[in-house]
Amino acid sequence: MSCFARAETTLTSLAISSRLLLAIIGAASLAACAQSPVGRQRADLAATGRQAAIERPYRVAALHPHPVSRVRVPEETAGTKPAAAHGLASFYSDTETASGEKFDKNELTAAHPTLPFGTKLRVTDVSSGRFVTVRVNDRGPFVRGRVVDISPSAAEALGMVDKGLANVRLDVVQ
């Protein structure tokens, strides 16, 4: 065998060996990825289905990782009016509400975390005694310690535009 033929055979076997080594390394890498915690988490989520997605805490603009505990207006019991809720109110503006209707700053509307859409609330400023009746058409507020967000026109009726916040009492009217 000539010197060139021997060198060519050696190069060919070296190329085949290196390709085989690369294939083995690639297969080992893929096997390691399949056993990673990320792969297991995805498999766990797929197995639990929709229920796991419902029970996870929600995020609102990445402000807080868990739902904020809020003062809730108790439901009616035995024909009595619900008790009043007390807390801070603020006013807001948005482009679209959670109920799907377009936000109108001139309407007397509010955002409440739990009351059904369409509920009428009387919002009373505790310090001045002024009150306004608003319709719940949005969800919120998403700031700890606040019980309701009201539209700018409702805030103007309460006289809280300059203050920004007001200590209020909520009464369900209808």
Over range 97-101, report the average pLDDT.
87
Q: What is the pTM assigned to this prediction?
A: 0.52
Sign of the Cα pseudo-torsion (128, 173, 149, 73, in order)? positive
The predicted-structure confidence for 19-45, as pLDDT tens digits, reads as follows: 888 888 888 877 776 665 554 555 555
Distance, in Å, from the CA atom of 1 to the CA atom of 9, rounded to the nearest integer, reads 11
Nearest to 115 by CA among 174, 57, 68: 174
Over range 131-151, report the average pLDDT.
90
The predicted-structure confidence for 115-128, as pLDDT tens digits, reads as follows: 999 999 999 999 99
Query: Does residue 153 surpass a pLDDT of 90?
Result: yes
Q: What percentage of the chain reaches a pLDDT higher than 70?
A: 64
DSSP string for 23-34: HHHHHHHHHHHH
- pLDDT for 73: 47
Q: Counting every residue, how long is the chain?
A: 174
Q: Tell me the two tokens of residue 131.
A: 């009150």
